[in-house]
Structure formats: C-alpha cells, structure tokens
Amino acid sequence: MHAVEQYARAHIVTDTADSLDDEHRAVPVALRYDPDTDPRRVHVTLPGPHEWTFERELLEQGLRVPVDSGEVRIWPCGRVQAVLEFHSTQGVAVVQLDTKALMRFLRRTYMAATPVAH
C-alpha cells in the first residue's frame, strides 16, 4: 500500500476578508492519506501551514450532506462545490473546493487501501 497525496486549489470563504479579491483568491491545498500509518483518516493542509486530520468517512459523507466532528464541518455547496470549515484556537478557516477534486482524492485513497491480489 502506498500514500496518496493530491494538490487542489481552494477558495477562501470568509466574512473577515479585507477585500473582495481576498475573499475569492485561490489557495493551494494538500490532501494526504497514508493507509500504513492511519488507514481511517485523511489530512488537509492549508497555507500557513495549517493541517487538519479527520475521518475519511466524514469527507465522503460531507460531499452529500452536512456533517461535522466538532472542529471540522463539511457540506455540499451546489452541485460542484463543497465547503470545509476548520475550527482551531487561532480561529476559523472556511474553504470551498471542487467536488470533483475531492471525489478523485477519495477514489485514490480507496484504491491505495485495497491490497493488490497476486
């Protein structure tokens, strides 16, 4: 089994942006999954660096219906976007990602977690 790492572009969604340009600027996001060290969890890293680790199942469910696990909330936003909201002692980070990128990442994680038959 091997680790999966995928990069995506996310848009910051917040009411604290200094300008409209800040609110809609794209930021790089790293999505990681390592079935050898933690087969049930995924890692999302935002610039800063800020990393959140949460159940892979939460991400999968959040693409269909609103879900949360306390510090992480995920919900669909229309047909092609998903919103991820991360809470920490430093504040709240809210980002919007393309659902296709998240679904591609999830597919890759399930492929990586499945043992190859010989």
Q: Which amino acid is at 64?
A: R
Structure tokens belonging to residue 71: 């510090």
pLDDT tens-digit series, residues 42-70? 999 988 778 999 999 999 999 999 999 98
pLDDT at 71: 92
Task: Decide if pLDDT at 19 tops 70.
Answer: no
Q: How confident is the model at residue 90 (pLDDT cuts 50, 70, 90)?
A: confident
* Tokens 């890759």 sit on residue: 108
Residue 35's nearest CA partner among 117, 116, 102 is 116
| Domains of the chain in sequence order | 4-113 (2.30.31.20)
What's the whole-model pTM score?
Answer: 0.85
**pLDDT over 70 percentage in the chain:** 86
3-state secondary structure of 7: strand
Question: In which element (H, E) is residue 104 found?
Answer: helix 99-113
- The CA distance from 62 to 84, in Å, is 9
